[in-house]
A = this chain, B = another copy of it.
């Protein structure tokens, strides 16, 4: 996903396509009708796999909260995805790829399909436009606009999914959803435009293949800001001790992890953005294999480390280890050998085991471990790209710029929400559980609570 959308690269036409990714090792063809279909198909398959990650987050989070908050967590997850789908269309896509909705963009039918009902230049925020649009192509010529929109939308939704887990079990539904509106409509599209929209970060040499920073650390920073403003759950930190609040359904949490792992093949593989040549499909293949390896090594690292450190294996750490491995390889899933993918993922797994207790020491209550998994492993993965590009400065710049932007804007939004509508349920509701107190509906009404 190094490629810009409407901007110079597209403008220099199809001969430039094979230079995306590392597609040099095999013979390349000029993009043809067949290549267009293959790349569109990559977006569709990649897109439905990343869609599936929304179910993964829902199951992971539903499994890691206490049973009294499960209905609420499920509600937040399906609602946030739905809101993301609408907001990304309403404003996000056009912010991320400036001019995407412009009258000069697309041939008639596609343009009408996209912008019919759109609220117009009010949301266009053209001042964010990083480079002049005058000389850009008016439409994609290597894949269908619909497939591209579908695929990109899923990344935006993923960013929001990351936030919901951290803030579980104490945040009110509607303020959370208002934050999702801002995150998916504005914050994510703006920072993502800096890189994938052909903005200043991509010009500065920053590299983030599928979004270790743009999506995962981005979501993690938004979650961190929320966790700070919201505060920990009642009783979580008491008398200097961290009180464990075990998840209510580890089968669901494991299912969620497997779903995310599956979806990640689309997340990373689809980010090759091309499948019409032997070189590109071979790249996609190695991305699949590397992605799988990093997840596996992240899981094994957490398995071994929890055994060594605590004398017993901790399943939730193993699950988060796999996810951290996945996040770690996301910034560069193509360049590493399988062995380096193993190393990259294993370090991600180690990071999770070591940083989960650190957060607790700082009294930052992250219910599902999303900050270690997505933010900290995301930073690690993004930094590791410099082993291949050599450009440490650009990587640090990208992490810092996106981190500061997302964290500060999120903090502002959370503070505004806190000061106006309030973001936290009252104590009684938190003790009772959000399901009964806020929604009047238990997730497991037939099972006696222990």
Cα distance A247–B11 in the bound complex, in angstroms: 55
> What interface size band does chain A fall in?
35 or more
Cα distance A369–B292 in the bound complex, in angstroms: 29
**Are B74 and A251 touching (Cβ within 8 A)?**
yes
**Are A444 and B442 touching (Cβ within 8 A)?**
no
Question: Is A70 located at the chain interface by the 8 A CB criterion?
Answer: yes
Q: How many copies does the complex hold?
A: 3
Assuming the contacts A82-B300, A261-B51, A281-B40, asked whether A254 and B58 have C-beta atoms less than 8 A apart, the reply is: yes
Cα distance A114–B79 in the bound complex, in angstroms: 42
Question: Is A449 located at the chain interface by the 8 A CB criterion?
Answer: yes
Interface residues of A in 398-450 (CB under 8 A from B): 438-450
| Chain B nearest Cβ from A219, distance in angstroms | 19
**One of A142-150, A189-197, A359-367, A387-395 at the interface:** A142-150
Contact with B along A269-290 (1 / 0, CB 8 A): 1000001111001101110110
Cα distance A25–B66 in the bound complex, in angstroms: 52
Question: Is A376 located at the chain interface by the 8 A CB criterion?
Answer: no
Question: Is A131 located at the chain interface by the 8 A CB criterion?
Answer: no
**Are B288 and A250 touching (Cβ within 8 A)?**
no
Chain B residues contacting A438 (CB-CB under 8 Å) are 312
9 A–B contacts from the bound complex (CB under 8 Å)? A34-B34, A41-B275, A44-B269, A48-B262, A55-B258, A79-B318, A82-B295, A114-B337, A114-B338
Assuming the contacts A33-B278, A49-B48, asked whether A118 and B339 have C-beta atoms less than 8 A apart, the reply is: yes
Assuming the contacts A275-B41, A339-B117, asked whether A314 and B439 have C-beta atoms less than 8 A apart, the reply is: yes
Chain B residues contacting A265 (CB-CB under 8 Å) are 44, 48, 51
Question: Is A324 located at the chain interface by the 8 A CB criterion?
Answer: no
Q: Which residue of B lies closest to A67 (CB)?
A: B446
Chain B residues contacting A110 (CB-CB under 8 Å) are 25, 282
**Are B40 and A282 touching (Cβ within 8 A)?**
yes
**Are B337 and A113 touching (Cβ within 8 A)?**
yes
Question: Is A340 located at the chain interface by the 8 A CB criterion?
Answer: yes
**Are A112 and B288 touching (Cβ within 8 A)?**
no
